Amino acid sequence: MKAAILGIGTELLTGLVRDYNAYFLAQKLVDKGILPQFILFVPDQMEKIVDALQFIMKEEEVKLVIVSGGLGPTEDDLTREAVAQAFGRSLIFSPEAWDRIQFFYRELRNTEPPENNKRQAFIPQGAEILYNERGTAPGFKLEVNGKSIFVIPGVPREAEFFWSLIEKDLPREEEYFYRSPIFKFCGIGESNLAKEVEPFLHHLPSSFNLAFLPNYGEVWLYVYSSRFSPEEKESALIFLEEVARHLDRFFFSPYGDTLEEAVGNMMKEKGLKLGLAESCTGGLVANRITDIAGSSQYFERGYVVYSNEAKKEDLKVPEEILQEKGAVSEETARFLARGVRHKGKVDLGLGITGIAGPGGGSKEKPVGLAYIALSSEEGVRVQKFHFSGDRLMNKRFASQSALVMIFQYLKEKFGNEFNYHQKLCGFRPSL
């Protein structure tokens, strides 16, 4: 069984609005073992919507179709009419749907609905109405030529609600598609990861495909298949386990879904405290750390020391270092890391300094240059980086490199002592 997702809205094709629904629905479908065969976007034009629906209906393997968008009350909301035309149905007014729309306006907006909202109460003949608890537009479901067609609103918050109704109708016994857990690595590039994986490839069943996904300084690895036996699935998981054990020093997802969550869980388990001194990242590392609930257990404090005066006054970076070596230098990074560790009385102090760009660079110190230092009881380690993105990308890569540095320190110091290490992503409880 395969699915198709059809997103409707001119704003999606013109780049005015980023699509969220296809991203959300595809993830949910794959979690249920159903592969989206198509993800299509069409403008708010009757003929385009009808053409897309007729194209999808020709695909025999597609048994589930989710149409999102175009159910609003305005003249350019044409999904109801297009679905009715595509399948030779009439539009029928639903008094109950209209009552619910009126109730929504009266109870939640303390007013009467505009007359054009009545358009939302027209449903294709023979369709099952799916009522919306988060907005005015009802969705509906049709069964056509052995395919289940769900038509839902395009507002992401409302589309998420309708998923709870769609999944109740999905088959529960048979697994049509399988995607493994995502194995996430940091501190290693895609090419090097692929090279490290090569010796294990003969253990991966031929029915499975291997996929690498670079993601802002991380590489995600997974396998997938739409035709497999239980034995082949088991072998594919064993293959991933072998790779993970071989690359344990880079493998962070057993500790958390994001690198900041992984670092936080590791520090929390060992009872460690962290302090940050950020210059070029402007507090981005602190922001990522504090995005995680419970981060107060391990994050003590952070300083954004953007100017030389701040570096001197807050963290005692010597004037002569700033004059002779410069604000962007290995020496300054060392003083930042050491300064925040001592001032905050924390276990780990991290200092970052660099040139985010687009200006401020020189031949000796180009845009993208960064130094990151980590101070611990063992001393101070410093790494030099040269990123090649725009300003925001350079800041993001610097924050990622900082988190990688902490992760690698914790792995080196504590090895396999962590409780999280035993999970190995949790898909094989015996490990």
3-state secondary structure the chain: CEEEEEEECHHHHCCCCCCCHHHHHHHHHHHCCCEEEEEEEECCCHHHHHHHHHHHHCCCCEEEEEEECCCCCCCCCCHHHHHHHHCCCCEEECHHHHHHHHHHHHHHHCCCCCHHHHHHHEEECCCEEECCCCCCCCEEEEEECCEEEEEECCCHHHHHHHHHHHHHHCCCCCCCCEECCCEEEECCCHHHHHHHHHHHHHHCCCCCEEEEEEECCEEEEEEEECCCCHHHHHHHHHHHHHHHHHCHHHECCCCCCCHHHHHHHHHHHHCCCEEEEECCCCCHHHHHHHCCCCHHHCEEEEEECCCHHHHHHHHCCCHHHHHHCCCCCHHHHHHHHHHHHHHHCCCEEEEEEECCCCCCCCCCCCCCEEEEEEEECCEEEEEEEECCCCHHHHHHHHHHHHHHHHHHHHHHHHCCCCCHHHCHHHCCCCC
Q: Encoding tokens for residue 78?
A: 């044409």
pLDDT at 428 over 70: no
pTM: 0.84
How far does CA 376 lie from the centroid of its chain? 32
- Residue 231: how many other CB atoms lie within 10 Å: 9
pLDDT at 136 over 60: yes
Name the amino acid, one letter, at 49.
I
Average pLDDT over residues 234-250: 95
Return the ∠ at Cα 141 (arms to 136 and 146), rounded to 5°.
Answer: 165
Q: What share of the chain has pLDDT > 70, as a percent?
A: 96
pLDDT at 202 over 50: yes
Picking from 40, 46, 80, 81, the residue whose alpha carbon sits closest to that of residue 59 is 40
pLDDT at 248 over 50: yes
Average pLDDT over residues 35-58: 97
Tens digit of each residue's pLDDT (9 = 90 or more) over 261-275: 999 999 999 999 999
Tens digit of each residue's pLDDT (9 = 90 or more) over 313-337: 999 999 999 999 999 999 999 999 9
Tell me which of 5-14, 37-46, 163-172, 230-239 is least confident: 163-172
* Average of per-residue pLDDT values in the chain: 94
Average pLDDT over residues 154-161: 96
Average pLDDT over residues 363-390: 97
Average pLDDT over residues 226-251: 94
Provide the pLDDT for residue 284: 98
Provide the pLDDT for residue 424: 52
Sign of the alpha-carbon dihedral angle for 337, 386, 396, 282? positive
Picking from 155, 147, 105, 100, the residue whose alpha carbon sits closest to that of residue 123 is 100
Q: Encoding tokens for residue 232?
A: 């082949």
pLDDT interval class at 422 (50, 70, 90): low
Q: Is the preceding omega at residue 73 within 30 degrees of 0, hence cis?
A: no
pLDDT interval class at 173 (50, 70, 90): low
pLDDT at 425 over 50: no
pLDDT at 291 over 90: yes
The rounded distance, in Å, linking the Cα atoms of 121 and 117 is 8
Q: What share of the chain has pLDDT > 90, as a percent?
A: 91
Average pLDDT over residues 1-28: 95
Provide the pLDDT for residue 421: 55
pLDDT at 9 over 70: yes
